[in-house]
């Protein structure tokens, strides 16, 4: 089967969506299919660019392809007889963040017109499809809430051969993610003012917002936290990431109201480490169970500091939660072969 996997292209950014698309293409090929990733127009957070990205997807043609798999809603309107979406979320500026300070509601009437066009277009396109899949229960809920669409959860598989392991429960809690306000690394840094144990913080990621990164450096310097916070800015190898995770005490996920619990969370759990994810992080609630696989504090620096101190003071509990986290994430994750067979329809033939 010839398969096209669609994802929007964000210049100079390689995140969860891009990795998901590449992994899917790899495993489609591994299971005997011809597959290729196609990058479509990225809207860049700008209202009119978003409209153009939707329109450009409508104009794409894949006449020599047997199956098209969009992983972002922007691409579901593509004209093809066999489209099977596997959606990782919805564009929040149009959907659930519309009336916030990062949503398109700030554009007034024009924003509302484009929102109606997009949501109605997504709904009509998805209604015409026989099968719609999402990568988390939260995305399933949002599709039902905003589009009235029933979908099936098909969780993103874990990397069993990724090399993740546990060496020790060390002195630092780690947060490895792109450095952006939405990922809220600043909450972890601010929490270091309130910790009462020698616990340290390691933040590592690519600079996707220079002003935000500068503000974090400034905060560390202003509050004399350089002996407690390591801020590693830039790309790092998979080997380095695995080594950091193997020796950390636990990990963070701090993204606000996320539709998926993030590859970051999964990698921490596969390293047998507990995850600190505040209550407002969204889909992390499906895997971060308070006191069982990690902590779900309030989203205040003080509460986050208390969670970090809790891990440091009781490393036996940290180990127990980390082992439970590893067990849970493995138990709910399908194999890539199952995902491929499901998306291609082969699973329904047996």
**d(Cα 92, Cα 313) in Å, to the nearest integer?**
38
pLDDT, tens digit (0-9, with 9 covering 90-100), for 166-203:
999 999 999 999 999 999 999 999 999 999 999 999 99
Residues 6+ apart with CB under 8 A from 309: 195, 196, 197, 199
| Dihedral over Cα of 47, 50, 54, 59: its sign | positive
Flag the least confident range among 90-99, 172-181, 283-292, 308-317. Answer: 90-99
User: Is residue 306 within 8 Å of residue 247, measured between CB atoms?
Assistant: no
Please state whether 168 falls in left (phi above 0), alpha (psi between -120 and 50) or beta.
beta
Taking residues 280-286, what's their average pLDDT? 92
Residue 41 pLDDT class (50, 70, 90 cuts): confident
Residue 350 reports pLDDT greater than 50: no
User: Is residue 244 within 8 Å of residue 204, measured between CB atoms?
Assistant: yes
Residues 6+ apart with CB under 8 A from 286: 136, 137, 138, 261
**d(Cα 232, Cα 173) in Å, to the nearest integer?**
14
pLDDT of residue 45: 63
Residue 47 reports pLDDT greater than 80: no
Taking residues 317-331, what's their average pLDDT? 97
User: Is residue 102 within 8 Å of residue 86, measured between CB atoms?
Assistant: no
pLDDT of residue 43: 64
Residue 349 reports pLDDT greater than 50: no
User: Is residue 78 within 8 Å of residue 7, measured between CB atoms?
Assistant: no
pLDDT of residue 160: 66
Give the HSE-up count for residue 200: Cα atoms under 13 Å, Cβ half-sphere: 15
pTM: 0.85
pLDDT of residue 44: 59
3-class DSSP assignment, residue 78: coil
Taking residues 229-249, what's their average pLDDT? 96
- Any idea what the Cα angle at residue 81 is, between residues 78 and 82, rounded to 5°? 85
Which domains are present in the chain? 2-157+334-349 (3.40.50.2000), 172-332 (3.40.50.2000)
CA end-to-end distance (rounded Å), the chain: 18
Residue 224 reports pLDDT greater than 60: yes
pLDDT of residue 161: 63
């Amino acid at each position: 089967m010839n398969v096209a996997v669609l994802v929007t292209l964000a210049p100079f950014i390689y995140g969860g969506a891009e990795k998901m698309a590449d992994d899917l293409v790899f495993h489609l090929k591994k299971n005997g299919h011809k597959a290729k990733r196609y990058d479509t127009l990225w809207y860049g957070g700008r209202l009119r660019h978003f409209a153009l990205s939707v329109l450009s997807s409508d104009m794409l043609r894949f006449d020599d392809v047997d199956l098209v798999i969009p992983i972002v809603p922007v691409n579901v309107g593509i004209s093809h007889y066999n489209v099977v979406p596997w959606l990782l979320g919805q564009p929040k500026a149009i959907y659930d963040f519309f009336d916030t300070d990062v949503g398109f509601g700030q554009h007034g009437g024009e924003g509302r017109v484009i929102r109606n066009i997009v949501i109605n277009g997504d709904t009509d396109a998805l209604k015409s499809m026989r099968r719609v899949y999402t990568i988390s229960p939260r995305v399933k809920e949002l599709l039902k809430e905003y589009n009235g669409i029933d979908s099936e959860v098909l969780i993103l598989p874990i990397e069993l051969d990724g090399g993740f392991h546990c060496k020790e429960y060390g002195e630092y809690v780690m947060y490895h993610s792109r450095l952006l306000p939405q990922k809220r690394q600043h909450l972890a840094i601010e929490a270091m003012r309130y910790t009462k144990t020698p616990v340290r913080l390691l933040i590592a990621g690519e600079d996707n917002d220079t002003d935000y990164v500068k503000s974090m450096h400034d905060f560390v310097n202003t509050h004399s936290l350089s002996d407690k916070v390591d801020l590693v800015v830039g790309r790092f190898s998979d080997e380095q990431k695995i080594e950091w995770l193997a020796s950390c005490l636990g990990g963070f996920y701090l993204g606000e109201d996320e539709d998926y619990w993030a590859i970051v969370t999964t990698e921490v759990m596969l390293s047998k480490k507990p995850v600190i994810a505040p209550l407002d992080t969204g889909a992390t609630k499906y895997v971060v169970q308070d006191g069982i696989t990690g902590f779900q504090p309030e989203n205040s620096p003080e509460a986050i500091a208390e969670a970090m101190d809790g891990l440091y003071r009781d490393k036996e509990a940290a180990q127990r939660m980390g082992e439970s986290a590893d067990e849970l994430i493995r138990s709910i994750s399908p194999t890539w072969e199952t995902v491929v067979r499901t998306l291609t329809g082969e699973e329904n033939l047996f």
